[in-house]
Structure 1
């Protein structure tokens, strides 16, 4: 046994040392970092990205070793209170309401503080933690997310740290599922299975899911199951995980029209019908006449009131300021335009592309979501996790570049007033758009975005 250990050490000495250094950087990130200290954050993040690249480079065929590291790096955060996002306070708040049998879509947290009818443990602390913006709006997390919040609070014994640990373990299980189905799906699209580590070891994924407790990982887990089941021709069964994916995060709703070409018109119609029926079933426990109004009121804020780390919106905003347009009116008008543009884009990719190929289907999903994030006024770092996961099944790598540069969005928190730095945002988006343009020309000057039968026949490139 000692000889085997010594031999392994000799063969893998450098990766092991890099792994130890990586673990120390994650420990510092989890327990010794303030969100306002961007200089330290950037140094840690840069170091982690370089180490991630080197570990994959050295050990990309050593699946057990890299899988073990991915799990260990996530467990480093296990007892840490998230330091870059306060969303988890709202998760725990909603989870308490679910456990009490109350509907989380019907109450504003600020109205329940001090309530004698509905008593939330540590209510004042949770409301203070989630901050006024969240506390003064209705919950916008879909039904399955709410049930997972309730499960986390129950598993955590109603305590904040216990609930945080429970959420982390749920997200870890989801990431392990992504690893498992991701490798299987990579083989279906003729990609090397080691590419899954660009998701599993990516610092953005580990920090924003394992560290800051966002549920994009659970959504992705169900989405990859959907894609895998469709790949093996079990499309009716795939409707269940697709509905569950939407019931965690609404983002996959945008992908549903693609399945009319992916499965054929008849099967696509049946598939989408089943998805909506299952989705409706997940809504039933929370049904209330006021539900739709409250939920849509909160959801609309993301298009018409909030702005953070935007790209195209900031260009439009600058042009509007030069024309003396009022910013609050501009964002409301711009917010109404985004859904229309995205709907048209989804229609184009759904009608013109041959999405029956798994590779093309995932690529269409990638470009639908990319356009949406390029247009939207709010792009938090964890939003692009879905892009990172999807891109490894395609020939495009611009989301990996974005996963490295999106750290610049955290410069907004250097000051208490959340003031964004346009200089850093320009660096972020020039890197992303520049690499995207390079990749589009590399893969055939837009030809990879349209089916071959339309090329050279007078159809303008998308």
Structure 2
């Protein structure tokens, strides 16, 4: 079984064209099944599974990413930063037209590799990501392959950190430690993060380290680490409101209600808010935001904010891929308006997400770490279900969070997300909306089953 898995990963890394979707899907299904069996059979052999996870990653070390071309942009940003050029101030297309073009090694190859869409837009990668890119630019100025290896070393360190601190966190939460392998040994994570060079696992490491530090009641260090995670990917910013009740007296709201004679639901909320340690909460927020601001400070000038916000805004109002609820809204828009309403939907859907986050912040308990992690999970899932663009590697974060909860639908999502790659089988990258519908019907169906029929859906193999 172990050697069969190695052979399949080898084929995935070195003998796969992303346009060959039948082969891609077949390899992925086989890898998912074999990984499932490995965890099932060896879940008491922690370090044996850890060794398998390392072996499967090492297979990719000599391969260029198969399913994504984003790494060309990473190398580009790193090389221009290594040449003293602020990556936030110009697009690759514009730099190619001026004198700076000559100082960037393999510039034409990098711009061609990243594609016209990336080359015509400003970078949207935060400072810690840029720092990693820059290290690659300094150490590997003229070799694309060497740059890829450097990126993989960072991701490998992050994965190893998730393994160690994830195991410690599971123990402290009285959860089975082998559950961490539903992330570490998941083919989805190995392929998307280590294989395709997406840095969600680097962000994920800092999120897990934040949880671990909070469990140890080291909230200042936890805030600093959470700030670093934001500077890897902006995504963790949405989690900040969820800490509202975490820094509280921990006293049971029912006791407060009983002591004060309060009965109305609004009174429960008020009682909860009064129990919040506002000094610690605001201090936590201050450390997080200060860390983020300081990380951006070296890149700041008058054009930075407009360029960066323009780039981030494109994901909400211009791009669409593998969406769920948005595609239904888009269809309704075509029936009613006669055109694509993404510009309007891209403004409204984030506001709905914000209301959901605020609702979870106010109405969820979130006083224990388990409850907080659960709120993180449902927040990010709500965000993705309402997003206009959901690239498959985005699912890495809910998958990681689910390891520390009783929910397994993100594991199902990590399996179903491979269907989105069917778009590459089409020369025009046209999505098969039937496959998109199947993906989300299965995922949402499994989620609802876990919520409403948990006893009937208790799979011992996933526990």
Contact 2:86 2:299 in 1 (8 A): yes
Distance 2:13 2:140 in 1: 20
Residue deviations 1:407-439 (CA, integer Å, cap 9, x gap): 000011111101100111111111101001101
Contact 1:260 1:269 in 2 (8 A): no
Structure 2 residue matching 1:310: 3-state secondary structure:
coil
Deviates more, 1:111-120 or 1:64-73: 111-120
In the alignment, which residue of structure 1 is the partner of 2:218? 234
Residue deviations 1:64-115 (CA, integer Å, cap 9, x gap): 1110010111110001111100000000000001111210000110112263
Structure 2 residue matching 1:355: 3-state secondary structure:
coil
Distance 1:114 1:348 in 2: 49
Alignment counterpart, residue 95 of structure 1, candidates 56, 68, 78: 78
Structure 1 residue matching 2:197: 3-state secondary structure:
coil
Alignment counterpart, residue 47 of structure 1, candidates 30, 35, 53: 30
In the alignment, which residue of structure 1 is the partner of 2:47? 64
Structure 1 residue matching 2:245: 3-state secondary structure:
helix
In the alignment, which residue of structure 1 is the partner of 2:133? 149
Distance 1:325 1:350 in 2: 38
Alignment counterpart, residue 361 of structure 1, candidates 348, 364, 372: 372
Distance 1:35 1:148 in 2: 27
Distance 1:157 1:98 in 2: 11
Structure 2 residue matching 1:103: 3-state secondary structure:
coil
Shift of 1:232: 0.8
Contact 1:153 1:159 in 2 (8 A): no
Give the TM-score normalised by the residue count of structure 1. 0.90
In the alignment, which residue of structure 2 is the partner of 1:415? 426
1:176 aligns with 2:189: no
In the alignment, which residue of structure 2 is the partner of 1:5? none
Within-5 A mapping of 1:92-131: 92-113=75-96, 115-118=98-101, 119-131=103-115
Contact 1:258 1:361 in 2 (8 A): yes
Distance 2:167 2:139 in 1: 30
Residue deviations 1:176-223 (CA, integer Å, cap 9, x gap): 000011011112222100000000000110000110000101101111
Alignment counterpart, residue 121 of structure 2, candidates 137, 142, 156: 137
Structure 2 residue matching 1:139: 3-state secondary structure:
coil
Give the TM-score normalised by the residue count of structure 2. 0.90
Gaps of 5+ in 2: 249-277, 456-463
Matched pairs, number:
425
1:426 aligns with 2:437: yes
Distance 2:97 2:438 in 1: 46
Shift of 1:443: 5.0
In the alignment, which residue of structure 2 is the partner of 1:290? 303
1:270 aligns with 2:270: no
1:245 aligns with 2:229: yes
Structure 1 residue matching 2:148: 3-state secondary structure:
helix
1:225 aligns with 2:209: yes
Shift of 1:231: 0.5
In the alignment, which residue of structure 1 is the partner of 2:258? none
Distance 2:190 2:30 in 1: 14
Contact 1:96 1:158 in 2 (8 A): no
